[in-house]
Amino acid sequence: MSSTEFDAVVVGSGPNGLAAAIAMQQQGLSVLIIEGKAEIGGGLRSAGLTLPGFVHDVCSAVHPLAIGSPFFNTLPLQDHGLIYAFPDLAAAHPFDDGTAAVLGGSIEETAKLLGKDEQAYLKLIGPLLRDWPDIADDVLGPLHFPKHPLAMARFGLNALTSATYLARRFKTKAAKGLWAGMAAHAIQPLSNLSTSAIGLVLMAAAHLKGWPIPVGGSKEIANALSSYFIAIGGRIETGRYIKSLEELPAAKAVLFDVTPKQLLQIAGHKFSSVYKWQLERYRYGMGVFKVDWALDAPIPFTAAEARRAGTVHIGNTIEEISLSEKLSWQGKHAEKPFVLLAQQSLFDDTRAPEGKHTAWAYCHVPNGSQKDMTTAIEQQVERFAPGFRERILARHTMNTAQVEDYNPNYIGGDINGGVIDLGQIFTRPALRSSPYRTSAKGLYICSSSTPPGGGVHGMCGYHAAKRTLKDIFSISI
């Protein structure tokens, strides 16, 4: 180790690494972030992947959890260049008959458009909107006794059920399809317990703060966080990929924004046999196959609502989506995959040359899949937007290996940092009194492989920093 001494070193500059570093630097500590890539950001990166003048989000694209993050909301990120654009509709879900269900800005607007399921939607989401200010910190944190146990129990009773079970509350194809698209963000079969949690959170987020798009690309969230971190005295080093503890500068604490696989490679020899055994059995989930397009014009969706939405869920009925996710989970490839699509340039004109557009999409595939899903994805888009392929000027694709190569935290293409199912939701990455502590003193994990899991919210990093501050520096925040 070098002679330079820091209070804390954070390995990795994804949203969680940045959040952890900021939370500690705010307490007057000396904090260094070390990033293996040439640019900071982890999943928050944007680049010209296709043609000159087109800006594509390499990983994450739409950010309901970022704008709703209890920690990020305490930071003056707008003073550091972060501006959000808000689509007319958060999300649209088109069907084969040319109609579409929508997730609108208000719960009343969304519910009314669901017709016979208006009251069912209000009854499901209404209490969550009312309770969210009281339970957000608990939902987006480690397992502990909640501040508002009754409100948390109301959420948990629905959140821990399977998405297919909760779908029984709805009668219409529109409501069931809309719900299935939201729950599919769980990246596992919709019949699994706890798959309702992410669907509920995403729907509530749309009504509370919207599903915004960072102007200029997702990289602008990382840029704003890093700018603030540096402004309060933090340091960042890029292009320095850490493979062992010996490569780190001396520090009282080290926080790793990595998943268990990399953590074992870096520091496994320091861990107890029980902790090491648990990390070795940590489970990763389905991967993604991703496509970015440079387009000559907007996507010509048949449903007008889909042309006004920042996000479009392409999967038709709940039955079709359920089959797609089940097949991928079983190691197979769906002929008609569920596709998550974002059309940022409709609401952010910095993304493409005048009159041109971008689109971003991915589907779930078996972990480590090498299969090219470009044709299957484009056929799904064309199905709901005839003439789409004629508007493609260029495309850029990434299979699971390329996704992992770009961001080593995406093991086998898993963008969630590991499966968030009932067997792992409370024990990620290991069963311990604190999920952020490793068995080695002074070493902590702060990635999406810890509670509350995947998503651009920084809460994994924030809670890891809280634990570190209390353990090592006797500081409570």
pLDDT in tens, 80-92: 999 999 999 999 9
Residue 164: which residues within 8 A CB-CB, separation 6 or more?
Answer: 190, 191, 318, 322
Instruction: Give the mean pLDDT of 88-107.
Output: 97
Helix (H) or strand (E) holding 313: strand 309-314
Comparing C-alpha atoms, which of 214, 203, 177 is closest to residue 322?
Answer: 177
Residue 194: which residues within 8 A CB-CB, separation 6 or more?
Answer: 159, 160, 161, 162, 186, 420, 421, 422, 425
Question: Cβ distance 244 to 262 under 8 Å?
Answer: no
Query: Which is it for the CA torsion 274, 275, 277, 283, positive or negative?
Result: positive
Instruction: Give the mean pLDDT of 282-310.
Output: 98
Task: Tell me the CA distances in angstroms from 141 to 116, 201, 444, one per residue in order.
Answer: 36, 14, 16
Comparing C-alpha atoms, which of 34, 31, 45 is closest to residue 238?
Answer: 34
Count CA within 13 A, CB hemisphere, residue 295. Answer: 24
User: Quick check: 52 pLDDT over 60?
Assistant: yes
State the chain's mean pLDDT as an integer. Answer: 97
Is 84-212+286-406 assigned to CATH 3.30.420?
no
- Residues paired with 101 in a beta bridge: 93
Instruction: Give the mean pLDDT of 441-469.
Output: 97
How far apart CA 194 and CA 50 sit, in angstroms, is: 38
The residue assigned the tokens 């029984």 is: 168
Superfamily of domain 5-82+214-283+413-473: FAD/NAD(P)-binding domain (3.50.50.60)
Phi-psi region of 101 (alpha: psi -120 to 50; beta: other; left: phi over 0): beta
Fold match flag (5-82+214-283+413-473 vs 84-212+286-406): no
Instruction: Give the mean pLDDT of 109-136.
Output: 97
Comparing C-alpha atoms, which of 26, 20, 71 is closest to residue 231?
Answer: 26
> For residue range 370-400, what is the model confidence (pLDDT) as tens digits?
999 999 999 999 999 999 999 999 999 999 9
How far apart CA 76 and CA 166 sit, in angstroms, is: 38
User: Quick check: 3 pLDDT over 60?
Assistant: no
The pair of structure tokens assigned to 173 is 């194809």
Helix (H) or strand (E) holding 289: strand 287-295
How far apart CA 385 and CA 393 sit, in angstroms, is: 16
Q: What is the pLDDT of residue 423?
A: 87
Helix (H) or strand (E) holding 471: helix 459-473
Task: Tell me the CA distances in angstroms from 250 to 1, 237, 246, 461, one per residue in order.
Answer: 6, 15, 9, 21
User: Quick check: 1 pLDDT over 80?
Assistant: no
Q: Which amino acid is at 146?
A: P
- pLDDT-derived band of residue 4, with 50, 70 and 90 as boundaries? low
Query: Which is it for the CA torsion 237, 415, 203, 46, positive or negative?
Result: positive
Least-confidence region, from 213-227, 306-320, 339-353, 422-436: 422-436
Q: What is the pLDDT of residue 2?
A: 44
Instruction: Give the mean pLDDT of 428-437.
Output: 96
Q: What is the domain partition of the chain in residue ranges?
A: 5-82+214-283+413-473, 84-212+286-406
The pair of structure tokens assigned to 255 is 């926080």
pTM over 0.85: yes
> For residue range 393-418, what is the model confidence (pLDDT) as tens digits?
999 999 999 999 999 999 999 999 99
Question: Cβ distance 468 to 24 under 8 Å?
Answer: yes
User: Quick check: 238 pLDDT over 60?
Assistant: yes
